[in-house]
Structure 1
Amino acid sequence: MVTEIAQIEVKPGTEKDFEAAVVKAKPLFQRARGCGGMELHKSVEKPTRYRLFVKWATLENHTVDFRGSEDFQAWRGLVGQYFVAPPDVEHTETVVS
């Protein structure tokens, strides 16, 4: 299992619209190959900063299958207008639980 962590900065004043767009986009992740769920977290100290956590069965499920899909394009179409800059994305593996 691989966890994608995307740090997303949104334009001030668009937080609620961004959150609503992520709710609309949730089915895109739910039907993606290898996706085991997603969560969106909002920073308490920096209210325009979010972190998107997505569980993937394999790295390729995210980097190849999802990013190469029409659903990825739909995701970016729903949320991209709120981004200050492209998200900073990394992938992690659990080493201690």
Structure 2
Amino acid sequence: MEHEQIREHLPRFITGSLGAQESLAISQALAEHPELMADLRLALALHKAFEEELTMPPPLPAVIYQQARQPVPLLPTALTGSIRQLRQAADITSKAIKLAFKMI
């Protein structure tokens, strides 16, 4: 591999996303050409800075934080109303069946 190719592959070498052959070739080139170590150090520093920047999420608008503090009901209001209606219907049906058995 030429020096320029090695420099291009350093970010993937650092993350371990290169194949075994390419990683071995870069390792050998780094061992044989100490001047490439400066490029490796730079790539490592950039990678570290990039990771640190990614771990800090951007701040969210205050509205989202305010909404997060409010308790969230387990079931939406519409669903709660529907469940209430179903229970009432089941109760009426149960009473109607009991009444029908009494008449038989």
Q: TM-score, normalised by structure 1?
A: 0.26
Structure scoring higher RCO (CA < 8 A, sep ≥ 6) equals 1
Q: TM-score, normalised by structure 2?
A: 0.25
* Bigger share in helix: 2
